[in-house]
Amino acid sequence: MFSHHLLVTILLSIAALSLTLQLIPSDAAVVHEQIAAAPSSNEDSINGGGKLQIAKEEIQLATSSSSHDNDQTAIAAGEEKLTVPLYGRPQSSTYLVQLRIGTPTDQISTRYVLFDTGSDLSWTQCQPCTNCSYSPYPPHDPSKSRTFRRLSCFDPMCELCTVSKGCLFRRLYGDGSTVSGDLVSDVFHFSVTGDDNYQFERDVAFGCANIEDCKAVRGYSSGILALGFGKTSFVTQLGVDRFSYCIPASEITEDGDVYDDERRSASFLRFGSHAKISGKRAPFTQDDSGYTVRLKRLVYQHGSRLNQQQPVPIFVGEKAASAMPMLVDSGTTLLWLPGSIFYPLQKKIEEDISLTRRYYFTHPDLYCYVGNMSDVEEVSVTLSFDGGVDLELFGSSLFFVDEDPREDWVCLAAAAGKRAILGVYPQRNINVGYDLSSMELSFDRDDCM
């Protein structure tokens, strides 16, 4: 049960990095080499020769008067806000949380993990990582931490126990990814100052992965911060009943430069009283460890604001029995729709934009066209949920640009899958709030800066 008496609240940065993006949710099998992906997505390994070059990295510790959060209530005595912007190339980005695990912090390296609303257990690569995916950061070394401890078989967090190895964990994701290792506990520090002046520290039970073949590890990510349901979830352990995030869209300048100091792609993951719960609300239900809302309608529209065509209903499930469950998952990149909905939608879009399709022959389910964002600016899709929520997708929440060396491609940020999933792309420039006490999600259009 979630605590209604919040003593500690924190504000974390969601850092936007230009990573090789992968596009597959937990039940699909599409891969694209240039797009950011989700923990439950398929993805090509990034080898040592393909390390990203960070253009700029800065750390900014905000006080209660931060311009980013001046609408928030005052922080209680002893509490501070933490803001950790990470500057990189924001196009085709994924969003990470920056932290250190263990004590003393000067012996512990910084780590980056994907925040995932569909996972119930946080984990990171740990030494010895006998069979793990490549990451530019070495696996976490528990021997350097004096606060590290293995959970006993009698610990209420323990899920799997053996006589020889003690408390263990194992996760199998829908795309076939697997991770396993020891279930342990240590202090999470949400700061990268390199000293003991941390704004928030918390003892957290998490997975110390020794065997890992998971799509959550790519680029700079070395694991997951779990924000789903379950006793081992970070949200549950933190004891909050609300959190929110706002994912900024990538910006591309006219000369094609995807990096701009003044328009960095950074935002915040907010917990407790700092959470922004605004806009209309849709009731959600628990779906395993994730959050599911009910999709009642999907409507397609094409045309300029002054010359709109008649809306075209692609899916109508107004009655409760015919409404479609849609998982809201920050651990997935695209908008995933059952084929019976996606293909009629894709056909209408293709007819109206009249662009030449380009194929990835190894990944034919990805719909890309010769063109740029201006060629698809008149396309919009509206998702209607219970509670009167109408989520209009257009521009960078419905398409992304793939910069092929020979020609510009614009790709549809949606695909056909076994189930409906609202991934990161359709959530861009929207503040998404999770009110766990009322079992509602809020959606509010925002520039997320």
Structural domains of the chain ordered from first start:
280-445 (2.40.70.10)
Largest CA distance in the chain: 70
Q: Cα(15)–Cα(96) distance, rounded to whole angstroms?
A: 5
Q: Cα(193)–Cα(107) distance, rounded to whole angstroms?
A: 12
Question: Which secondary structure element, helix H or strand E, spans residue 265, and what is its range?
Answer: none
Q: Cα(202)–Cα(206) distance, rounded to whole angstroms?
A: 12
**Tell me, what's the pLDDT at 401?**
86
DSSP 316-369: E--SGGG-EEEEE-TT--SEEEEHHHHHHHHHHHHHHH---EE--TT-TT--EE
Count how many Cα atoms sit within 13 Å of the Cα of residue 154 in the half-sphere of its side chain. 0
Q: Regarding beta strands 312-316 and 290-304, do their DSSP bridges make them parallel or antiparallel, or are they unpaired?
A: antiparallel
Q: What is the DSSP letter of 163?
A: T
Q: What is the DSSP letter of 69?
A: G
pLDDT digits (tens, 9 = 90+) for 389-421: 999 999 999 998 876 668 888 999 999 999 999
**Tell me, what's the pLDDT at 226?**
94
Q: Cα(67)–Cα(387) distance, rounded to whole angstroms?
A: 32
Q: Cα(327)–Cα(310) distance, rounded to whole angstroms?
A: 29
- Secondary structure of 208-257 in the HEC alphabet? EEEEEECCCCCCCCCEEEECCCCCCCHHHHHCCCEEEEEECCCCCCCCCC
Residue 391: partners with Cβ closer than 8 Å, 6 or more residues away? 382, 383, 384, 385, 426, 430, 443
pLDDT digits (tens, 9 = 90+) for 89-123: 344 456 788 888 998 888 888 888 888 999 999 99
pTM above 0.85, yes or no: no
- What's the chain's average pLDDT? 76
pLDDT tens, N- to C-terminus, the chain (449 residues): 434 444 444 555 555 554 433 443 433 322 222 233 333 333 332 222 332 222 222 222 222 223 333 333 222 323 433 333 332 234 445 678 888 899 888 888 888 888 899 999 999 999 998 888 888 888 999 999 999 999 999 999 998 998 888 899 999 887 788 999 999 999 998 854 434 455 578 899 999 999 999 888 877 789 999 999 999 999 999 888 999 988 887 644 334 443 343 444 457 788 888 888 999 999 999 989 999 999 999 999 998 766 778 899 999 986 766 789 999 998 888 999 999 999 999 999 999 999 999 887 766 778 999 999 999 999 999 999 999 999 999 999 999 887 666 888 899 999 999 999 999 899 999 999 999 999 999 999 988 76
Residue 351: partners with Cβ closer than 8 Å, 6 or more residues away? none
List the end-to-end C-alpha distance of the chain, in Å, as a whole number.
32
Q: Which residue has the tokens 């609303």?
A: 117
